[in-house]
Amino acid sequence: MESYVLEVEKLNLAYRTLRGDLLAVNDVSFSLKPGETLGIVGESGCGKSSTAYALMKMVPSNTSIFTGKIIVDGENIMEMDDADLRKKVRWKKISMVFQGAMNSLNPVIKVGFQVAEPLIVHDNVPKNEALERAKELFKLVGLPQDFINRYPHELSGGMKQRVVIAMSLVLNPKILILDEPTSALDVMIQAQIMNMLKDLRKSLNLSIIFITHDIALASDLCDKIAVMYGGQIMELGAAEQVLPDPKHPYASKLIGSIPTLRSEKKLDFIPGAPPDLVNPPTGCRFNPRCPYRFELCEKETPPIYILDGGRQVRCFLYKGKG
């Protein structure tokens, strides 16, 4: 049997809101092998960050539903108490670079110390040793080692992004979640960060979950792609299967909306708006916007159908075709 470093089964996460429960993550399942990279793509508000926070078990205080299995390195962390989670798993086995993290560095503390802090505070490592570790990490993420003595305002956006990636690696995690790590950067810096991630993946055998709304970026880095819509994964499969030939109507529209070099072909867009997650459409969440919908789509939630090559598609068009 192949070993997985992360297995997620039937993950659900809902928030209490004034209008009722908002189901941001609904029946999400996937797995990740050591060294593998999964890209999660989808429109704004489809539940990408919520999924990431759920995997870290860092859910907000207005959480009303939080169920499913999250098996990290063979242990279901949903059943683990907070003290154990902090001691053994969070940041140590599974770590995350939050969306917009580079803008939340503490402005009055030197960046090297911010990287070293968890070692000093949680692991009682002497300050000098911890700063040496910060230097090693700076080298790993492509920053000059003497930059540990700089303050955040003395760094460019790309450098700050490297610092927050160094922070996420300080306790040697096996799994790294990156939530929109390059969205605020220009394309040249973005390319450098992407190359750095490829190097890190190789040298540390890191498993990466790469969250982005930029499918071209995901295709550059990821072995597998999950396309999310309205809190659900609509299609999941090998990048070389999903990207050239998406099967789910939403995945197909989303991928069809990527511009290509000077083409006469009109770019796809999807009429209508993303679903209201407090009152989602009955049946398939995409049915009101789907050009292929038929009666069943409005009545029942489609299950996941497994097609050739192991690709998973949540769409009744594939009923009986697996």
Residue from the set 140, 142, 213, 317 that interacts with ligand ATP by CB under 6 A: 213
Cβ contact 174:201 at 8 Å: no
Q: Which range touches Mg ion (CB under 5 A), out of 22-30, 41-49, 263-271, 285-293?
A: 41-49
| Binding-residue total with ligand ATP (CB under 6 A) | 16
Helix or strand or coil: residue 305?
A: strand
> Smallest distance, Å, CB 49 to Mg ion?
3
**Torsions phi, psi for 116 (to 5 deg):** -80, -20
> Smallest distance, Å, CB 130 to ligand ATP?
32
Residue from the set 115, 163, 277, 284 that interacts with ligand ATP by CB under 6 A: 277
Angle at 25 between CA 32 and CA 213, to 5 degrees: 70
Site membership for ligand ATP, residue 48 (CB under 6 A): yes
Q: Is the four-CA dihedral 164, 165, 170, 175 of positive or negative sign?
A: positive
Residues 71-110, interacting with Mg ion (CB under 5 A): 99
Q: Which does 97 bind (CB under 5 to 8 A by kind): Mg ion, ligand ATP, none?
A: none
d(CA 23, CA 161): 31
Q: Nearest-CA neighbor of 204 among 196, 194, 212?
A: 196
> Given the complex with ligand ATP, which of 11 and 170 has the nearer CB atom?
11
Residue from the set 26, 37, 49, 312 that interacts with ligand ATP by CB under 6 A: 49
Q: Nearest-CA neighbor of 166 among 101, 82, 248?
A: 101
Residue from the set 47, 68, 249, 302 that interacts with ligand ATP by CB under 6 A: 47
Composition of the chain by helix, strand, coil, percent to 5? 40, 25, 40
> Smallest distance, Å, CB 163 to Mg ion?
21
Chain positions contacting ligand ATP, by CB under 6 A: 15, 17, 22, 24, 44-50, 60, 62, 99, 213, 277
